[in-house]
Structure 1
């Protein structure tokens, strides 16, 4: 198969985007989804669905839950890009691919911690999107939509970095 860097970029972006949705919505467990935003100032009460035991979680638990989510999220992207690139015959430079996937994973952590005055809330305020960030009506959730679009942008940058040095054929 012949390809250009542009085609490699498009493939890697598609693979990371699909893996992101799987990692965020299918792989992430309920505990991480609920607790990853916990802080000592704004603790999260979590009820285990199986045992019905409720526990309270602060900053340390929130950081660990978010880190674990980002590890499984990143692993999902690594598997998708590795398998997809192999199936498509795309040869990525390993360091570039890891750097691109690291951009996605690290920025995912920064966005998903969403602690008061977190990264996304700060960006929303500085760009005049505070009301949209706070929207939770009409079947919409502004914070979630801004979170998703932030991830998409970071994945695009990551895909660009990942395809630096891709063997052109």
Structure 2
């Protein structure tokens, strides 16, 4: 049985670290290059996921140390690996776009996309961003269940 308090603490740590790591720790280069269908794009995405995972590990360590929460190292490792793998998959962008098309969410995915021929968007509220973040949140939830178990 999973402790509700442990699950809540783990999920809060992962969620906060995700938001910080995805927006503050990720470099501008990583954000722009990580979806490129090249070796450089794959490496940019790997570097982003590595620093994001380290950010999440640090948040979990802080919660464990400051709250006396006991986390099993193998559960933490498996949970963070699940989160990292699913984050990488989504952040390569093409797989998530294909999934959105497959399930009938393609138009929503493209909502607010940059204008043709540009790399700008009139705002940050794109469908791609919303689906990307909601994908990550689902896997944060599942990873928290693994870690807290």
**Fold shared by both chains (TM-score > 0.5):** yes
Name the residue aligned to 1:14.
Answer: 12
User: In the alignment, does 2:42 pair up with 1:63?
Assistant: yes
Deviation at 1:10, TM superposition (A): 0.8
Aligned length: 139
SS of alignment partner, residue 128 of structure 1:
coil
Q: Which has the larger radius of gyration?
A: 1
Give yes or no for contact 1:136–1:142 (8 Å, CA) kept in 2.
yes
Structure with more of its chain in strand, by fraction: 1
The alpha carbon displacement at 1:122 in A equals 2.0
Task: Give the alignment partner of residue 120 of structure 1, picking from 96, 118, 129.
Answer: 96
CA distance in 2, matches of 1:119, 1:158: 20
Per-residue displacement from partner, 1:10-38 (whole Å, max 9, x unpaired)? Answer: 11001000000111100011110111111
Given candidates 104, 126, 129, the residue that maps to 2:105 is 129
- What is the distance in 1 between the residues matched to 2:99 and 2:6? 31
What is the CA–CA distance in structure 1 between the aligned matches of 2:88 and 2:69, rounded to whole Å? 28
Between structures 1 and 2, the one with greater helix share: 2
Which segment is superposed worse, 136-145 or 72-81?
Answer: 136-145
Q: Deviations over 1:108-150 (max 9, x none)?
A: 1000011xxx221122112211110000078420001000000
The correspondence of residues 1-169 of structure 1 with structure 2, limited to 5 A, is 5-39=3-37, 59-114=38-93, 118-136=94-112, 139=123, 140-164=125-149
Runs of 4 or more, structure 1, over 2 Å off, are: 137-140
Separation in 2 of the partners of 1:104 and 1:85? 19
Structure 2: give runs of 5+ residues left out of the alignment. Answer: 114-121
- Cα distance in 2 for residues equivalent to 1:122 and 1:17: 26
In 1: Cα distance, 2:65 partner to 2:80 partner:
16
